[in-house]
Amino acid sequence: MNPKVSVIIPTYNRANLLPRAIKSVLNQTFRDFELIVVDDGSTDNTKELVEKFQKKDSRIKYFYKENGGPGSARNFGVKNARGNFVIFLDSDDMFLSGLLEEEIKYTNEFKIIMCGAWVVNLENNKIINYVVGHTDCCLFEKTLFEKFGYYDEERNFSEDVGLGVKWTVAEYLNKSFIPKKVIDKPLVIIFKHKEPHFTDNLNHLIITAKSMVDKYSDAIYVCPHIFSNVFLHLGHYEILAHNIREGRKYFLKSFSLRKNNFIALFLYILTFLGQVMYLKIFNLADWIRKNIFWKIKVVRKKKEFPNFYDEAIKLLKFDVTS
């Protein structure tokens, strides 16, 4: 008999972090699942590590493929999944024990079920934010991929954005909207890696963001919220690259697509102060966002769900070398 849920972990050279992700799946209170580890061409000891887990639990399946990127690995996992529903887990993240049990309750009525997540600084294991709807939080009915399309496999701006555009366009064209459920509870832990300096990868970010816009140009007004965010990021990248006029253009596009996107309007105005002042004010606003508003969200969720907070703190003590 096929399992109800297929948990898919795409991984690439993260054997040092993978054990905690696997253990967080095996510790689920809901037991009718299979765990698919898609090794996207790792050169470390990922295979040997997974094989040790397989000896203890037959629900774990291991697949090796040549490196093709996150979209390719996710698609491979979906196509090899036997469950009626699939959920992804990045190989450095973790599920809280009740995630599947909580989301599976709604599968008779909804085809996409998403929850919230604690965001944790990987360097010090501190909870720094709370978000809703991250990929690791979403349970999908498998037939949605067959009906609406799979992840883009190009190494582009964001495979998640591409999937969202595809499915939104398909909903619009078919005039049939996917039933979705949002569970505003922190049931996942997402680790935030140290952010690289934008200047180290700036040209790539600009090129891939523009390629996303070009590829889905016909969908811009079908998915205004998504593309408003894409143009917002693109505008900021252009400012960092000293292309002030281009940055202004993209900020205006972002605002035109979503009139309540006051961040885009604010950044547009900032550009007239020059790049140096733009960056000073931007960095100050970013600091306030991360050190005040993020902390407020965490405190509120901690008070609302103390058990989930305590469980997260306990999981964060897991020794990745064990």
Local structure of 60: helix, strand or coil: strand
Secondary structure class of 237 (helix, strand, coil): helix
Averaged over 202-210, what is the pLDDT? Answer: 87
- pLDDT score for 271: 97
244 within 8 A of 271, measured Cβ to Cβ: yes
* pLDDT score for 56: 94
pLDDT band at residue 27, thresholds of 50, 70 and 90?
very high
Percent of the chain with pLDDT over 90: 76
CB burial readout 32-56, b (16+ within 10 A) else e: ebbbbbbbbbbeeebeebbeebeee
pLDDT of residue 204: 83
State yes or no: pLDDT of 173 exceeds 90.
no
298-312 pLDDT tens trace:
999 999 999 999 999
pTM over 0.85: yes
Helices 244-257 & 224-240 angle (0-180, nearest 10): 160
Go through the domains of the chain in sequence order and give each one's CATH number: 5-194+306-315 (3.90.550.10), 198-273 (1.25.40.10)
Average pLDDT over residues 193-219: 79
Mean pLDDT of 195-199: 54
3 state SS of 6: strand
pLDDT per residue as tens digits for the range 80-123: 999 999 999 999 999 999 999 999 999 999 999 999 999 999 88
pLDDT at 321 over 90: no
The pLDDT confidence band at residue 199, using thresholds 50, 70 and 90, is low
Q: What is the pLDDT of residue 216?
A: 87
